[in-house]
Amino acid sequence: MMNTMNQRDTNDAASRTHAGWDSQALDVTAYLERIAYDGPTAPTVETLGALSLAHLRAVPFENLDIHLGRPIRLEQATVFDKIVRQRRGGFCYELNGLFASLLRALGYRVELLSAQFSRPGGAWSPEFDHLMLRVYEPGDETGPGWLVDVGRGRNAPTFPVRFGAAETQTDPWDGVAFRMTLAPDDDGRNSWLSHRRPPGEGWTPPLRISAQPRQLPDFAAMCHWQQTAPDSHFTKGRICTRLTEDGRITLSERTLIVTRDGQREERELAGEAEVAEVLRTEFRIDLPATGSGREESR
């Protein structure tokens, strides 16, 4: 019994501190206020779903720092200040990385997983191209867990997907269907394909998810590449998008896309002053109207 308790204490400590990201140092109250969440915090799957939905509505998926020449560093204090204190958004490494800390602070066990996007001809994007979360409720640490993603824009599920489940799971928000199939990767490691089917459409090309738990520093090199490489889609144009009560709002360079109750409208903004105004009013992001280029050196 003592050995079991010691092992449990060790596991609990490891879950609270993850490669320099200490969930005990996280200001949980400020984080929950940031995502406008005042519901139950007991670590259940119902709470997990409510937190995920609140996060997707409040915190945008965006790459604005890349186009302002501001380096993105995977440090808990830096990411927390950006997302919670400055009320900004981020991309997968920031959003899912910080959300993992919140979930650990609330009592969940969380694993970071690497995911790859499919490419033409059966190829895959590089390892660590995307960061996702596998989340376990207390008492269910040996179960399959739940797949959670608050860092993928419009293609992310708004609810926890049962990891490894072959049966179709339908997103209650927009009716998108998800299912998973086992598919060893090129090195024979245990990997899964996550399939997505919007209502009235066919299954889209899958996402390949490695089941091997990772540490956040494992994603650092790819995070740097995403910010600097000409071939990275994050360097090709600005994006800022979040879920709304009745759909989604997206700023793609100077195109504003608003979807309400399934109806999509687009319009081109007049210039950078209007871009800055949309960021302020629709995303509560206050940035200077400096153009799509980088900030001037100080």
Instruction: Give the SS3 label for residue 209.
Output: strand
For residues 83 and 79, give the distance between their C-alpha atoms in angstroms, rounded to a whole number.
6
Look at residue 102 and give its three-state secondary structure: helix
Decide if 149 is catalytic. Answer: yes
User: 8 exposed, middle or buried (CB, 10 Å; 0-12, 13-18, 19+)?
Assistant: exposed
Strand, helix or coil at 276? helix
Distance between CA atoms of 83 and 283, rounded to whole angstroms? 12
N-terminal to C-terminal alpha carbon distance within the chain: 61
**Residues 6 or more apart whose Cβ sits within 8 Å of residue 77:** none
Q: Is 223 considered catalytic here?
A: no
Could you confirm whether 233 is annotated as catalytic? no
Of the candidates 67, 92, 129, 240, the residue annotated as catalytic is: 92
Closest C-alpha to 114, from 145, 70, 147, 142: 147
Q: Out of 55, 67, 129, 149, which one is annotated catalytic?
A: 149
Please report how many Cα atoms fall inside a 13 Å half-sphere around the Cα of residue 285, on the Cβ side: 28
Catalytic residues: 92, 130, 149
